[in-house]
Amino acid sequence: MAASLMKILDDLETRLERTQAELEALREENQRLKQQLALQDAQAKSVPSSKTATTSEMHSLEAPEQSAPSEQNAPEEQASPEPAGSPPVAEPLVAEPLVAEAVSETAPATGPAPSPHALLNQWYERYPKAFFKGHTKPLKVGIHQELAEREEWPNKLIRRALANYVNLPRYIKAVREGAERVDLDGQPAGKVDKQAALHAAEKRGDKKSNEQTKKAPPKPTPVAPKPRQVAVKQAGNEKSESHKPLSMEDKLLDLQQKFKAR
Segment 87-115 mean pLDDT: 51
% of the chain at pLDDT higher than 70: 58
Pick the residue with more confidence: 74 or 48?
48
By the 8 A CB rule, do 154 and 113 touch? yes
Banded pLDDT at 167 (limits 50, 70, 90): very high
User: Of 249 and 22, which is predicted with more confidence?
Assistant: 22
pLDDT beyond 80 at 227? no
> 152-161 burial, b if ≥16 CB within 10 A, otherwise e?
ebeeebbebb
Burial level of 177, CB count in 10 A (0-12/13-18/19+)?
middle
Q: What is the pLDDT of residue 154?
A: 92
Tens of pLDDT, residue by residue over 16-63, are 888 988 988 898 899 889 998 888 888 888 765 555 555 555 555 554
- Model pLDDT for residues 108-165, shown as the tens digit of each residue: 445 688 899 999 999 999 999 999 988 889 999 999 998 999 988 999 999 999 999 9
Whole-angstrom distance, CA of residue 89 vs CA of residue 44: 10
pLDDT given at position 206:
60
Arithmetic mean of pLDDT, 200-224: 63
The domain locations on the chain are 116-205
What is each CA distance from 27 to 13, 123, 140, in whole angstroms? 21, 36, 40
18 vs 251: CA distance, rounded Å: 118
Nearest to 130 by CA among 77, 89, 166, 104: 166
The CATH H-level (homologous superfamily) assignment of domain 116-205 is ProQ/FinO domain (1.10.1710.10)
Task: Indicate the burial class of 197 (C-beta count within 10 angstroms; 0-12, 13-18, 19 or more).
Answer: middle
pTM of the model: 0.39
Average pLDDT over residues 73-96: 45
Cβ atoms of 127 and 184 within 8 Å: the answer is: yes
Mean pLDDT of all residues in 99-114: 52
What does the H/E/C string look like for the chain?
A: CHHHHHHHHHHHHHHHHHHHHHHHHHHHHHHHHHHHHHHHHHHHHHHHHHHHHHHHHHHHHHHHHHHCHHHHHCCHHHHCCCCCCCCCCCCCCCCCCHHHHHHHHHCCCCCCCCCHHHHHHHHHHHCCCCCCCCCCCCECCCHHHHHHHHCCCCHHHHHHHHHHHHCCHHHHHHCCCCCEEECCCCCEEEECCHHHHHHHHHHHCCCHHHHHHHHCCCCCCCCCCCHHHHHHHHHHHHHHHHCCCCCHHHHHHHHHHHHHHC
pLDDT of residue 113: 85
Q: What pLDDT is stored for residue 109 in this prediction? A: 42
Residue 12 and residue 113: Cα distance in Å, rounded?
Answer: 10
The burial class, CB within 10 Å (0-12 / 13-18 / 19+), for 96 is: exposed
Tell me what the pLDDT averaged over the chain comes to.
73
